[in-house]
């Protein structure tokens, strides 16, 4: 479905070149949910924005290859990309208020997305919008299409955005922290919704989040990012039951448990993630890693077959 | 219960929104509605709830950043309900607050050593030399290096900035520290550092905390007791372990079950309760029990009569007609 190879994204800034994404490769297969976890600045959002062709900063340099169903997206003409976006791939953003126009009703905004990509009358598009709103569990959808975004609650707005993203039956759906701005009980509703829709529409979903718990509820496969690189990539069960990379292990241990014995002190990862400008020329996690040894002065590559990890402790250097 | 440090009795805080001329007219938000809370010396009370439940408003009422509309506040034996800004000032040293966003609470144009020295300059008559010694000791206490004092807030990471905020708050050796979402803006790997730091400081200085957060697993980790809030009221109050193991209020149960937890090896399977609908607006709260429109156990009486927070046949208190 989506195939990303050796993707690098860097930004020219006053403080120098910031390498946001450093040789990232991954695939998304049909009908699966790929979870991408990482802390702020780890590159999880930028890598998927690049896939959507949404980085049009003149200071950005993108290299590598991004293929959607075999079609190369890097370097594609903006007009051609526009035809794909919204139809073949759609995106759900963290803050639904910024993804919606405050001056048009929900119905008009969903209908616009449909009429842009399909030959359909305005009336027909509005009817379809009602159907979509019903599908995402918005009560009284015939009334809701006449509402403006500010008249809806956060959870309802996010549902409307999801309805909009689904309007053209995209084969790839990218969700960037769609529940982070929501309350816990509403988040549970949205997660249920995403799971149900993914089953019904058989779309491939890339779910970006910083919350390990959310990934655990939803994803089939998980990719852990740290400082612009993928450090571990495996099935969900493998990641949570048998984490290999010291960063993944530490990340899971720092989260206080909700049940069972309460630890006296929480496990801590010392220090903070490196700045994009001053990334060490070694394994980026090495300065904070408890298992650091001599080979770590080099950058480990992602190795392994089904369970991949970028760590010399797991995959000792050759020779 | 150990010695009582703070007593909030029947506290209400209302805000007016809109004007007489706006479409819906002048309306009242009942942000905190008849809340009573006793805080004992040395404990940590966790305040949890979803956005709009009044947990932040309550915490600001406790430190008198807001004037309360009704009720009484008693801190360390003094009635502070009617105290104004000026008469509160001597007490401020003993009653401090840490805010969510560390960068918003630090003046970007001042060096860290000056930011941390400010409480001493305002409240004490120490000499400049003594202040500098105090500042150096404080920076060490919160895990910063001595030369960090020369830097400006923007030169620090989020976790370090929160350490500076904590250093300022504990400078005058307060008795009660109110922490409003102190780790919510931080990355997971840094969050644990601050949680541990707060635990260390509590032990070292004998601090009492009110810890406000929407993150239940963090609250469980730090709290002795927990107050669960919904639409301006406390719906459940009890020992932290008890509330998490045996919630009595249906809202508490749903809230705990809605938290996504990592599927660790050996973790127990959990029953999810997905509540329908959103939190209603505090401008027009539902009649009777405010949770009834979303409650799976609601019956006729819940629509009419508001339950009071009372002892249920366990250890804790719950405001429910049909507790679990």
Q: Are A187 and B258 in contact (CB < 8 Å)? A: yes
> Is A315 inside any structural domain?
no
Nearest Cα to A58, choosing from A18, A11, A19? A11
Answer whether residue A301 is part of any domain. yes
| Cβ–Cβ gap A185/B50 under 8 Å | yes
Cα(B43)–Cα(B59) distance, integer angstroms: 16
Q: From the CA of A80, how many Å to the nearest CA of chain B? A: 38
Give the closest-approach CA distance of B233 to chain A in angstroms.
17
The beta strands (E) that lie in chain A are given as 2-13, 16-28, 33-37, 60-68, 71-72, 89-92, 172-176, 204-209, 221-226, 229-235, 308-309
Q: Residue A245's beta-bridge partner residues?
A: none
**Residues belonging to chain B with any Cβ–Cβ distance to chain A shorter than 8 Å:** 50-51, 157, 159-160, 187-193, 195-196, 199, 214, 216-218, 220-221, 241, 244, 254-256, 258-265, 267-268, 270, 272, 274-276, 278-279
Report d(CA B277, CA A152) in Å as an integer: 12
What is the number of domains present in chain B? Answer: 1
Does residue A201 share a domain with residue A135? no
Residues A179 and A247 in one domain: yes
Question: Do A107 and A84 belong together in one domain?
Answer: no
CB nearest B187 (choices: A40, A191, A236)? A40
Give the three-class secondary structure for A72: strand
DSSP assignments along B93-106, one per residue: TTEEEE-S-TTTTS
Instruction: For residue B199, give every residue at least 6 positions away whose Cβ sits within 8 Å of its Cβ, in sequence order, or none.
Output: A265, B222
HSE of B179, CA atoms in CB hemisphere, 13 A? 37
- Do A260 and A283 share a domain, yes or no? yes
For residue B43, pLDDT beyond 90? yes
Buried b (16+ CB within 10 A) or exposed e, B100-121: bebeebbeeeebbbebbbbbbe
Q: Are residues A82 and A143 in the same domain?
A: no
Bigger pLDDT: B51 vs B149: B149
Phi and psi at residue B121, to the nearest 5°: -65, -35
Please check whether residue B139 lies inside any domain of the structure: no
Residues B87-138 pLDDT 10s: 898 899 999 999 888 778 899 999 999 999 999 999 999 999 999 999 999 9
β-sheet bridge partners, residue A65: A5
pLDDT-derived band at B269, boundaries 50, 70, 90: low
H helices of chain B, in order, are: 55-62, 85-92, 112-123, 128-141, 158-170, 188-205, 216-222, 240-245, 250-258, 300-304
How near does any CA of chain B get to the CA of A79, in Å?
38
Provide, as residue numbers in chain B, all residues whose Cβ is less than 8 Å from the Cβ of A159. Answer: none
Residue (of A137, A50, A156, A52) closest to A96 by Cα position: A156
- Residues A210, A305 within the same domain: yes
User: Can you spell out the DSSP letters for A79-90?
Assistant: HHHHHHBTTTEE
Q: What are phi and psi of B89, to 5 degrees?
A: -50, -50
Report pLDDT for B200: 93
Q: Indicate the burial class of A153 (C-beta count within 10 angstroms; 0-12, 13-18, 19 or more).
A: middle
Residue B139: count other Cβ atoms within 10 Å of its Cβ. Answer: 21
The number of angstroms, rounded, from the C-alpha of B288 to the middle of its chain's C-alpha atoms is 26
Q: Do residues A227 and A288 share a domain?
A: yes
Indicate whether A52 and A107 sit together in one domain.
no
Confidence at residue A319, expressed as pLDDT on a 0 to 100 scale: 56
Which of B205, B29, A294 has its CA nearest to residue B197? B205
- In a domain? residue A93: no
A197 shares its domain with A159: no
CA distance A158 to B79: 46
Say if residue A196 is in the same domain as residue A60.
Answer: yes
Strand order, beta sheet including A229-235 = A89-92, A172-176, A204-209, A33-37, A221-226, A229-235, A308-309
Residue B314: pLDDT band by 50, 70, 90 thresholds?
A: low
Q: Are B212 and B179 in contact (CB under 8 A)?
A: yes
Q: What is the CATH number of the domain that holds A194?
A: 3.40.50.300
Biggest alpha carbon–alpha carbon distance for chain A: 68
Q: Do A214 and A144 fall into the same domain?
A: no
CB B276 within 8 A of CB B266: no
Is there a contact between A212 and A224 (Cβ–Cβ < 8 Å)? no
Q: What is the Cα–Cα distance from B102 to B287, expressed in whole angstroms?
A: 39
Q: A304 is in which domain, residue-wise? A: 2-88+170-309
Which of these three, A169, A185, A206, is where a domain ends? A169
| Residue B250 domain flag | yes
From B258, B274, B278, residue closest to A153, measured CB to CB: B278
One digit per residue, the tens of pLDDT, for chain A of length 319 reads: 899 999 999 988 888 888 888 889 999 998 899 999 988 888 888 888 888 888 888 888 999 999 999 899 988 888 999 888 888 999 998 888 888 999 999 999 999 999 999 999 999 999 999 999 998 888 889 999 999 998 888 888 998 999 999 899 899 999 998 888 778 888 888 888 888 888 888 889 999 998 888 898 889 999 999 989 999 999 999 999 999 999 999 988 888 888 878 888 888 888 878 877 777 788 989 988 989 999 998 889 889 888 999 999 999 887 5
Span B215-232, pLDDT tens digits: 898 999 999 999 999 999
CB distance A162 to A92 below 8 Å: yes
For residues A251 and B188, is the Cβ–Cβ distance under 8 A?
yes
């Amino acid at each position: 479905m989506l195939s990303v190879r050796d993707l690098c994204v860097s930004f020219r800034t006053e403080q120098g070149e910031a390498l946001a994404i450093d040789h990232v490769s991954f695939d998304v297969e049909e009908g699966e949910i790929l979870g991408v976890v990482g802390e702020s600045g780890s590159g999880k959002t930028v890598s998927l924005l690049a896939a959507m062709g949404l980085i049009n900063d003149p200071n950005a340099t993108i290299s590598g290859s991004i293929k959607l169903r075999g079609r190369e997206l890097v370097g594609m003409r903006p007009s051609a990309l526009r035809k794909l976006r919204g139809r073949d791939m759609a995106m759900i953003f963290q803050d639904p208020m910024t993804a919606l126009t405050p001056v048009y009703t929900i119905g008009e905004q969903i209908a616009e997305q449909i009429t842009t990509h399909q030959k359909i009358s305005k009336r027909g598009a509005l009817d379809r919008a009602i159907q979509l709103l019903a599908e995402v569990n918005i009560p009284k959808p015939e009334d809701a299409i006449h509402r403006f975004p500010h008249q809806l609650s956060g959870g309802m707005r996010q549902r409307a955005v999801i309805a909009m993203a689904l309007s053209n039956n995209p084969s790839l759906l990218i969700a960037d922290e769609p529940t982070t701005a929501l309350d816990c009980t509403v988040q549970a509703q949205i997660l249920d919704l995403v799971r149900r829709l993914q089953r019904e529409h058989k779309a491939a979903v890339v779910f970006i989040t910083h919350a390990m718990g959310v990934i655990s509820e939803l994803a089939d496969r998980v990719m852990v990012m740290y400082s612009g690189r993928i450090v571990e990539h495996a099935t969900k069960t493998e990641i949570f039951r048998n984490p290999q990379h010291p960063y993944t292990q530490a990340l899971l241990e720092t989260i206080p448990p909700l049940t069972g014995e309460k630890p006296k002190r929480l496990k801590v990862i010392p220090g903070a993630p490196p700045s994009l400008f001053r990334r060490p020329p070694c394994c980026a996690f090495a300065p904070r890693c408890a298992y650091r040894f001599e080979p770590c002065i080099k950058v480990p590559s992602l190795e392994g077959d089904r369970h991949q990890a970028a760590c010399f402790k797991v995959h000792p250097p050759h020779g | 219960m150990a010695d009582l440090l703070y007593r909030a009795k029947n506290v209400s805080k209302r805000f007016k929104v809109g004007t007489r001329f706006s479409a819906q007219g002048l309306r009242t938000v009942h942000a905190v509605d008849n809340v009573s809370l006793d805080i004992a010396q040395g404990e940590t009370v966790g305040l949890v709830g979803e956005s709009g439940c009044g947990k932040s408003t309550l915490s600001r009422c406790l430190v008198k950043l807001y004037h309360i509309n009704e009720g009484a506040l008693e801190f360390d034996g003094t009635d502070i309900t009617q105290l104004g800004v000026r008469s509160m000032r001597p007490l401020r040293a003993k009653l401090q607050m840490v805010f969510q966003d560390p960068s918003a609470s630090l003046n970007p144009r001042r060096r860290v050593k000056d930011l941390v020295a400010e409480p001493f300059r305002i409240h004490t008559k120490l000499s400049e030399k003594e202040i500098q010694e105090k500042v150096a000791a404080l920076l060490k206490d919160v895990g910063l290096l001595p030369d960090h004092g020369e830097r400006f807030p923007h030169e620090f990471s989020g976790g370090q900035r929160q350490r500076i905020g904590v250093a300022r708050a504990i400078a005058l050796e307060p008795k009660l520290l109110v922490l409003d979402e102190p780790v919510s803006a931080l990355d997971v790997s840094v969050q644990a550092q601050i949680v541990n730091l707060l635990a260390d400081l509590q032990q070292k200085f004998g601090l009492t905390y009110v810890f406000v957060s929407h993150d239940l697993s963090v609250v469980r980790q730090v709290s002795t007791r927990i107050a669960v809030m919904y639409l301006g009221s406390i719906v459940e109050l009890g020992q932290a372990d008890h509330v998490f193991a045996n919630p009595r209020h249906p809202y508490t149960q749903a809230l705990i079950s809605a938290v996504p937890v990592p599927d660790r090896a050996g973790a127990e399977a959990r029953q999810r309760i997905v509540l329908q609908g959103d939190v209603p607006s505090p401008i027009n709260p539902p009649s009777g029990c405010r949770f009834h429109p979303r409650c799976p156990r609601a019956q006729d009486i819940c629509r009419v009569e508001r339950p009071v927070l009372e002892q249920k046949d366990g250890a804790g208190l719950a405001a429910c007609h049909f507790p679990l």
